[in-house]
Amino acid sequence: MNKSWRWMSVAAVVASGSLALVACGNKDADTTKPATAAEGKPAGGQGAGPGGGQGVPVTTQEAVQKPFDVVLEAAGTVTPVSMVDIRPQMSGVIRQVHVKEGQMVKAGQLLFTLDTQLDQANLAKAQAQLLKDQAALADAQRQYQRAQELVAQNFMSRGAAETAQSNVESLQAVVNADRAAVEAAKVPLSYGQVRAAVSGRLGGVPVFVGSVVKVNDTSLGTIVQTESVDVAFSVPQDSLPALLARLKKADLPEVDIALAQAGKSVTGKLTFVDNVVDAATGTVKVKARVGNEQGQLWPGQFVRARLQTQHLDSAVVIPTQALVQNPKGTAVFVVREGKANVQPVKVLAMQADMAAVSGLEPGSKVVVDGRQNVRPNAPVSEVKPGSDKPRAEKKS
């Protein structure tokens, strides 16, 4: 009896606990449900409906139609048109120096005199031998003339007269050889006088009176032509076609050379384009010839060269930042009625941060900043440069 009563009491307690838990669960459910219905907000958050957001902020710039020049600017080096290294053509001792370092010289002007005593003696010897053989030739000619007279009078045989004739011809050949020997002796003697091959400015003179020089080895100085100079610089290989097209015209392209002095420049003509492209730099070496009568340019001097490689009389110009590359080629985003439209273009020329293009109407607004976030036909909002706020529309 007692055991049955005890089990019934435990069952009643468990049942009452279960009822209490169920009642608590229903209470929580009732309080949550009205709260959700009161909010009435979608799961996506506020402003997620269509048309609830603005377009991508971008900055634009109008395409302008105007003349367009492509000008290359590069560092250049002044080089001489001709530079002659003075070297002696004979070995000997310097007897006289007729010039000073740095002076202007003319072509053919005497610069140095070398010791030529031995060559003068050889010339005198050759001249003496010539005189001796000329005398023998003159005697042989008289003998031959006398023999002809005796043959005519039948006092000498014809054979003896022919022998006299052969003697004259032999001595004539000897005299001719002597004359050649005299001319040969004059050649080394002329090497004793070192003269300027070209006109120009003489550099440093490293020899003095009494210096011993060796043939084709010792340098006596250099002469640099300064009346006109060349300016050497390099242009990118991409500019080569336009440059060659300009060279085919009658007038050579002008090159503006900026001097080290502020605001000073001279103008030259492009005269040389190298026949190879430097594989290391992707550039082509060119030269411009510049008049230098005033002596403003010196060989080895660094200058800035400006060369106009292309000129367009009328072109639609836009910033290069607006250009977009896609699988179909080059294009720009043009803003029309608040949307970005893809407009294919062809780049005609580029200069610094501007590009001349075709396929675009003047006055078109092209996207410059923010184009990386723009999609074709997507809405955009024009903003001022450096700001994310849309531009205020002008009231009419």
**Same domain (yes/no): 208, 321:** no
pLDDT at residue number 31: 38
Domain's final residue, options 190, 212, 233: 190
Q: Are strands 56-62 and 380-382 parallel, antiparallel or unpaired?
A: parallel
**Same domain (yes/no): 238, 303:** yes
Q: In sequence order, what are the residues at sequence separation of 6 or more whose Cβ sits closer than 8 angstroms to the Cβ of residue 120? A: 189
Render 345-363 in DSSP notation, one character per residue. -EEEEEETTEEEEES--TT
Sequence letter at residue 107: A
Phi and psi, residue 59, nearest 5°: -110, 145
**Same domain (yes/no): 227, 307:** yes
**Same domain (yes/no): 343, 321:** yes
Q: Which residues pair with 338 in a beta bridge?
A: none
Q: In sequence order, what are the residues at sequence separation of 6 or more whose Cβ sits closer than 8 angstroms to the Cβ of residue 71? A: 306, 307, 308, 309, 351
**Same domain (yes/no): 270, 334:** no
Task: Give the dihedral of Cα atoms 368, 370, 372, 376; nearest 10 deg.
Answer: -80
Inside any domain, residue 60: yes
- 291, 268 Cβ separation under 8 angstroms: yes
Inside any domain, residue 329: yes
The runs of H, that is alpha helices, within 46-116 are none
Question: In the chain, how many domains are there?
Answer: 4
**Same domain (yes/no): 258, 202:** no
- 231, 79 Cβ separation under 8 angstroms: yes
- 269, 254 Cβ separation under 8 angstroms: yes
Q: What is the CATH number of the domain that holds 329?
A: 2.40.420.20
**Same domain (yes/no): 216, 236:** no
Inside any domain, residue 344: yes
Inside any domain, residue 50: no
Which structural domain, as residue segments, surrounds residue 334? 56-68+314-382
Q: What is the CATH number of the domain that holds 297?
A: 2.40.30.170
Q: What is the CATH number of the domain that holds 130?
A: 1.10.287
Helix (H, G, I), strand (E, B) or coil at 61: strand
Inside any domain, residue 387: no
Inside any domain, residue 230: yes
- 258, 302 Cβ separation under 8 angstroms: no
How confident is the prediction along the chain (396 residues), in pLDDT tens digits per residue?
A: 444 434 344 334 333 443 333 333 443 434 334 333 333 333 333 333 334 447 889 999 999 999 998 888 899 999 999 999 999 999 999 999 999 999 999 999 999 999 999 999 999 999 999 999 999 999 999 988 888 888 888 888 888 888 888 999 999 999 999 999 999 999 999 999 999 999 999 999 999 999 999 998 999 999 999 889 999 999 989 888 888 887 777 678 889 998 876 678 899 999 889 999 999 999 999 999 999 888 889 899 999 999 888 888 889 999 999 999 888 899 999 999 889 999 999 998 888 889 999 999 999 999 999 888 888 898 998 887 755 555 544 443
Model confidence, pTM: 0.61
Helix (H, G, I), strand (E, B) or coil at 5: helix
pLDDT at residue number 242: 81
pLDDT at residue number 391: 52
**Same domain (yes/no): 107, 147:** no
pLDDT at residue number 163: 87
- 96, 112 Cβ separation under 8 angstroms: yes
pLDDT at residue number 387: 57
Inside any domain, residue 125: yes
Burial 298-317 (b: 16+ CB within 10 A, else e): ebeeebbbbbbbbeeeebbb
**Same domain (yes/no): 186, 131:** yes
Q: What is the CATH number of the domain that holds 107?
A: 2.40.50.100
Helices 158-190, 117-152: crossing angle, 10 deg rounding: 160
Inside any domain, residue 395: no
**Same domain (yes/no): 374, 319:** yes
Burial 59-88 (b: 16+ CB within 10 A, else e): bbbebeeeebebebeeebebbbbeebebeb
**Same domain (yes/no): 303, 227:** yes
**Same domain (yes/no): 186, 207:** no
In angstroms, the CA 181 to CA 394 distance is: 103
